[in-house]
Structure 1
């Protein structure tokens, strides 16, 4: 697919926050990212608090996260994961020459956050159902107490 993704003008300029958000989306802790980069957790924390980060460091972080530098720079907190899904859908290519000619495809290193989102949704739904069952049980016990007093 040769479509290009238009990066929104409301790009978050805080690169450290973008790193933290992507790390969280991908289910990594600071320690795990630090281990991948052969850094300390404290160094990752410092980077995540910086508004701007050197291009070479951004490249290293993007590689460790399995995403592109553009995604780290262009992350929009308001549209969340939709940016990445659109990016992968529109730019995925198996043709390495497309990448060399200026394409920004993801080759052999796809991360499917949609699966992580689905797992999170299922866990949240199960928690909600458990909570509803507990509330129903409490309601039943209150009804029994109320009816027994009449």
Structure 2
């Protein structure tokens, strides 16, 4: 086996590692583990554990894909060209709500929403810090 064959086999193994693929997609979208965890209703350490798994349970994989606005297949078999195509063209994903209504989610809208939530969290931390500093001074 030469170096070129070894590189190909390593890439194939990596592409099929669903946890690592999830991590790459999450990072590509600029989403922190904490934000993904919040949207999934789990803790950040649980997201970290999921990202270490070679295979993610199908129902969880589908839920994660919906939250990220990508297809489950993208997470299963990640490659850069497919990722760019999938993320840019998967614009009309739908989420079923308890009342059987549907809501269109656009990946960019989701990223903006997550960014705004993160920004609000940072503002709240800053406000707490300022209030704590004022109480120490007084």
Q: Which residue of 2 aligns with 1:71?
A: 74
The alignment of Structure 1 onto Structure 2 pairs a total of residues equal to 88
Normalising by structure 1, we get a TM-score of 0.50
For the aligned residues, what is the CA RMSD?
2.8
Secondary structure at the aligned position of 1:19 is classed as helix
Normalising by structure 2, we get a TM-score of 0.54
Once residues 41 and 47 of structure 2 are traced to their aligned partners in structure 1, the CA distance between those partners, rounded to angstroms, is 10
Q: Which residue of 2 aligns with 1:109?
A: 105
Greater RCO (CA < 8 Å, at least 6 residues apart)? 1
Unaligned runs of 5+ in 1: 1-9, 97-106, 113-150
Q: Give the C-alpha shift of residue 68 in structure 1.
A: 1.1
Secondary structure at the aligned position of 1:51 is classed as coil
Q: Which has the larger share of strand? A: 2
Secondary structure at the aligned position of 1:50 is classed as coil
Q: Which residue of 2 aligns with 1:29?
A: 32
Larger Rg: 1
Once residues 87 and 47 of structure 2 are traced to their aligned partners in structure 1, the CA distance between those partners, rounded to angstroms, is 26
Unaligned runs of 5+ in 2: 1-11, 95-102, 109-138
Q: Which has the larger share of helix? A: 2
Match of 1:54 among 40, 57, 60: 57
Q: Which residue of 1 aligns with 2:18?
A: 15
